[in-house]
Amino acid sequence: MSHQDSSVDEAVERAVELAAAGQRTVLGIAGAPGSGKSTLARRVVAAVDERLGAGTAVQVPMDGFHLSNAALDALGRHGRKGAVDTFDADGYVALVRRLVVADTTVWAPDFDRRIDEPVAGSIAVAPTTRLVVSEGNYLLDDTEPWAALGDLFTETWFCAVDDGVRVDRLVGRHMRHGRDHDAARAWAVEVDGVNAARVAPTVIRASRTVRT
Ligand SMILES: Nc1ncnc2c1ncn2[C@@H]1O[C@H](COP(=O)(O)OP(=O)(O)OP(=O)(O)O)[C@@H](O)[C@H]1O
Ligand SMILES: [Mg+2]
């Protein structure tokens, strides 16, 4: 597949096209922490529902598969929450497989930033839902089990943004969630930075880059 480079508006048009096609489409949106994945997915779902009817599209975040804080404590990984080994990757891949089949209502977990924990059974995906937009850091990772996702998504998009802008956005968000400026910056550069470095090269497997 040739690689497309597009604006958010062009990406939205493509999503409407996919949603109108008739059968279930599962779209993956990857990108570094703070690159705008969740915002793009929200915008796509809102635009598709506005054009084709409410409930045509639904957003399913990979973040619903964050391990719980208790599990991270037990594993000694709480200090690098968001790293590739702090998610239930097999659980996420299994969910995407079920989303592709589309024969029953699938209840997906969400991540609640207010309590900083995943919450099971949060998002209903009905068999009639045309477009599922799933988004997360590691959707294009080439290690198992993530690599299996390549055959499950209809298309995979990558959110691209200038690194300085991305870090500023993350600092802002970490501060809104209660960290002081120095702690927010340290987390954005050190913990999120390691994850961003892992995600960046995976753009080569994306079908489209979206400038956010
Ligand atoms: N196109 C945009 N223009 C301006 N700000 C944006 C844009 N997209 C996202 N942002 C802002 O950047 C921050 C991060 O965006 P978002 O939460 O969508 O990123 P993300 O890739 O989902 O991050 P994470 O990996 O941490 O879940 C948010 O504060 C959001 O409001
Ligand atoms: Mg997000």
Structural domain spans, the chain? 4-211
Chain mean position to CA 24: 18
Q: What is the DSSP code (8-state) at residue 114?
A: T
| Predicted local confidence at residue 181, as pLDDT | 96
Q: Which two tokens stand for residue 87?
A: 């998610």
Answer whether 59 contacts ligand 1 (Cβ < 6 A): no
| Predicted local confidence at residue 2, as pLDDT | 76
| Predicted local confidence at residue 1, as pLDDT | 54
Distance CA 201, CA 212 (A): 18
| Predicted local confidence at residue 22, as pLDDT | 84
Mutate which of 29, 39, 59, 84 for ligand 1? The one with the most ligand atoms within 8 Å of its CB, which is 39
Answer whether 25 contacts ligand 1 (Cβ < 6 A): no
In the chain, the amino acid numbered 101 is: V
Q: Which atom of ligand 1 lies closest to the CA of 39?
A: 18
CA atoms within 13 A on the CB side of 205: 22
Instruction: Residues 4-211: name the CATH superfamily.
Output: P-loop containing nucleotide triphosphate hydrolases (3.40.50.300)
**Which regions of the chain are under pLDDT 70?**
1
